[in-house]
Amino acid sequence: MYEKTILTKELIKTLQAFLITEVSVEKTLIDGKKFLSKEVIDNELVEIEEFSNFTNLYLKSVQTYKSLFKNWQAGSKVEVAMIRSILIPLVDKVLEKPGNILILHHYCNKEDYMYHHAISTGLIGGYIAFKIQCDLADVYQVAIGGCLADCGMAKLSPRIFNKTTSLTVEENKEIHNHPIFSYKMIKDSSIIKDSVKLAILEHHGRLDGTGYPQTIKTKSMHVFSKIIAVADVFHAMTSERLYRKKQSPFKVMEMILHDDFGKFDLAVVKTLLSGLANFSIGSKVKLNNGSIAEIVFIDPSSQTRPLVKVVDNEQIINLGINRELYIEEIL
């Protein structure tokens, strides 16, 4: 079990099966509430570590968004002011400590993916906007836009959220309407800039003319659209979902750069990759061969494939040369 893993009932049963009776955890539940100094789970004592203020705030924000989303499903209007109030303190903490971006996918769980995705896309988008030197007001605007990009999912059939298998062609067509619904739900808000409203509509557009809900060419995509598009796909691919396993941030960035070349703005992608590289030095990782290693150096010309040192034998591996190996998980 890795750091920042959400402790579910299933994981607790697994721990018990291996006769593990104690674990150290953060003092924050998945709903953002605090544990007491000690907690008994299934008659087993769990020792508590100090909680992270970011973790506490993040998980509370996810639960608040979840509650708001259910209101939207019932027909309520989008409370943009509420989204702004829960997101800006989180953005400030990310700008203060950007390494928090690297662990967002650890918090996500399959059942609440939709709500984690909204908050995380907003935070990642805000971080990218900050790194390309947008002013702080626009950083906040992009974060709000990223968070609300999928609010239109509330207008889709609930059966889609509960599927544990890949979507059918018809269900995909239905999903493709959500940016339009999202835009309609926030278009009258005075809190969101018109350029951000456009980004919400365009966030599934691609520079090569693919994407949805309509083909969007390079010239018509606003920079905010390009930022949210990258933030959205990055978090989606690094998170575990009901029908898809998560992949490491390094593997995802490599896929975006190579497999999806031409679909995303290269400057935006490299901005996120550079940030990940800067605060990944010293991180423990799991390689696809099962080895646990530490990132010791990242070559600017090959940021998705750093130099790592295997923990067991201190062997140095250059992943840029050893192409059969890659980082499977950041621990």
pLDDT in tens, 214-229: 655 555 789 999 999 9
Structure tokens of 31?
């709903």
pTM: 0.83
pLDDT band at residue 102, thresholds of 50, 70 and 90?
Answer: confident
Task: Dihedral sign for Cα 252, 253, 259, 261, please.
Answer: positive
Q: How many helices (H) and strands (E) does the chain have?
A: 12, 8
pLDDT in tens, 296-322: 999 988 999 999 999 999 999 999 999
pLDDT in tens, 61-101: 999 999 999 999 999 999 999 999 999 999 999 999 998 98
Domain limits, the chain: 9-48, 53-278, 284-330
CATH code of the domain occupying 53-278: 1.10.3210.10
Q: 52-55 long-range contacts, Cβ below 8 Å, gap at least 24?
A: 52/26, 52/28, 53/93, 54/90, 54/93, 54/97, 54/100, 55/4, 55/26, 55/28, 55/107
Do residues 104 and 136 touch, judged by C-beta distance below 8 A?
Answer: no
